[in-house]
Amino acid sequence: MVRVISQETYNEVVNENIEEFSMTLEEAIEDAVKQFEAQGVDLTNIIKDLAISDSKELIDSYLSQINIAIEDKNYGNMPQVLDKLRNELNKDIAHRVYAGNKGAYKSLIKLTKACSHNGTIVKAGLKAITSLMTGNPDLLNDEGIALQIHILETYPDITTLQYLLRWIRECCIKHELNRQSIFNADIFSKLKKILVRDDVSGSELRDACAVIRALVLDDDIRHEYGKAHEHASIIAKGALNVLTELMPRYMKDKEVVGDLIITLAALIVRNEFCQEVLDAGGLKFVTNVMIDYPDSEKLNWQALKLLKALAGNDNVKSHIVTSGCGPIIVAAVSRMRESECVVTAGLACISALTLRCPSNAGVFYDFGTPLVIVDAMKAYPKSVPVLKQAAWAIRNMSVRNKAECSEFIAHGIEDILGNALKLHGPKIESDVKAALRDLGLKVELKERWTGKGVGLSNGVN
């Protein structure tokens, strides 16, 4: 278990080093850090240079000014104070935790609510709250969620909405209970109103999509079972057509297009959703994106992620290949071989499209996919994700296409897989051995369980 200490304990050790061992301030801090790290203490949330930067005094001062302003109802200098506080909070997580422990969240919520008629202070308050809760989402409570919904419903200006959406997103990252509480507050209906507006800007779309993706995350290790799938299903039913229809309108804006694509990929969690995106023209659009932006690493990676998600439906899987996407996918992997993320996504896409589909595998053989896969493995011998996805693609292309799989063997795949197994061992052992087996090559398989040779009885004498 990771050990943690309080800011006060850390400060006491630093002061002790100065007073009892006559160390300089810098020496005292360095020694204290070494002591705690040697004891296995996690110092992530500790402001290590607190005595040097005077951050503690600054944060205390700004919070005091905010509280006095709330009490006196005199908010004249609040925008400036909030900006200064935000600068301190943006330094690192330790500053944010310290401020949170000093009541910063409660003060900022009170101030923002009290000044709801003042757009300038609301914007500054939202930015400060977002900084405070970045990587520190535990502070959110029902009062904060109510404020989020109120602003969504009452503030029409784009800038305020964007600051609000960024705060909501931070609340959802690595916090399952926050996601559920925000989702249960009917956040999606408010987000959909943004998506369907005729005058919605590209920047608003990007922030709204970021919140949608955050609502379907499953990244909180404190909760074994989350509601990511449930959230994705509900959102998909109301948003897939809307998002797909938005794509042609923003075809010239690479950033918006990318966000729309990756959001669709996050929402396609059921078989019928894949078909819905296909019927709405999503496949044609994503293919056009890869053709129109052949040199965009990010867009090609995002497009490949969406194609893999769409391949979850067998009918759509066949349509992807018969519509001519195969050569485009292989060309992207070959062209962007220097991008590990594109190569990994491309191999995963090939694997998904050829899973239990020998006709699709045959098509991929027709335009030289084995050589592209072999070259990718040669280019990334130390990358477990690349090697794992390559092994899966080899398996799916070989298991029911025994005649064609000799192409892999001709390109020296046996040695490449053998070297990968020696280098990475258990991390990819099952994947590599399965690929060797389905290629018809020699492989030593482990027998996971064997009986003891004892005779079985059915209990009848």
pLDDT score, position 456: 53
- Count the Cβ atoms, other than its own, within 10 Å of residue 275: 16
pLDDT score, position 446: 66
Give 427's DSSP letter.
Answer: G
pLDDT score, position 449: 58
- Count the Cβ atoms, other than its own, within 10 Å of residue 168: 30
Q: For 141-150, 301-310, 441-450, which range has the lowest pLDDT when averaged over its residues?
A: 441-450
pLDDT score, position 35: 87
pLDDT score, position 160: 95
Residue 21 has pLDDT above 70, yes or no: yes
Q: What percent of the chain has pLDDT over 90?
A: 77
pLDDT score, position 365: 96
Write out pLDDT tens, residues 27-59. Answer: 888 888 888 888 888 887 787 775 555 678 899
Write out pLDDT tens, residues 246-279. Answer: 999 999 999 999 999 999 999 999 999 999 999 9
Using 50, 70 and 90 to split pLDDT, how confident is the model at 418? very high
Query: Which has the higher per-residue pLDDT, 42 or 354?
Result: 354
pLDDT score, position 2: 63
Residue 382 is which amino acid? Answer: K
Question: 3 - beta bridge partners?
Answer: 41
Q: For 27-36, 401-410, 434-443, which range has the lowest pLDDT when averaged over its residues?
A: 27-36
Residue 195 has pLDDT above 90, yes or no: yes
**Cα dist. 5→42, 43, 79, 243 in Å?**
8, 8, 34, 46
Residue 451 has pLDDT above 70, yes or no: no
First to last CA, the chain: 54
Q: Tokens for 4?
A: 């943690």
pLDDT score, position 221: 86
Given a contact cutoff of 8 angstroms between Cβ atoms, the answer to whether 246 and 260 are in contact is yes
d(Cα 267, Cα 128) in Å, to the nearest integer? 31
In 216-368, where does DSSP find H-type helix? 228-246, 254-267, 271-279, 282-292, 297-310, 314-322, 325-335, 340-354, 358-366
What's the angle, vertex CA 304, arms to CA 302 and CA 307, rounded to 5? 115
Write out pLDDT tens, residues 68-111. Answer: 999 999 999 999 999 999 999 998 888 898 899 899 999 999 99
Query: Which has the higher per-residue pLDDT, 230 or 17?
Result: 230
Q: Specify the residue for token string 């045959």.
A: 362
pLDDT score, position 28: 84
Given a contact cutoff of 8 angstroms between Cβ atoms, the answer to whether 131 and 89 are in contact is yes
Averaged pLDDT of the chain? 92
Question: 41 - beta bridge partners?
Answer: 3
d(Cα 421, Cα 387) in Å, to the nearest integer? 10
pLDDT score, position 13: 85
pLDDT score, position 461: 46
φ, ψ of residue 41 in degrees (nearest 5): -85, 135
Residue 128 has pLDDT above 90, yes or no: yes
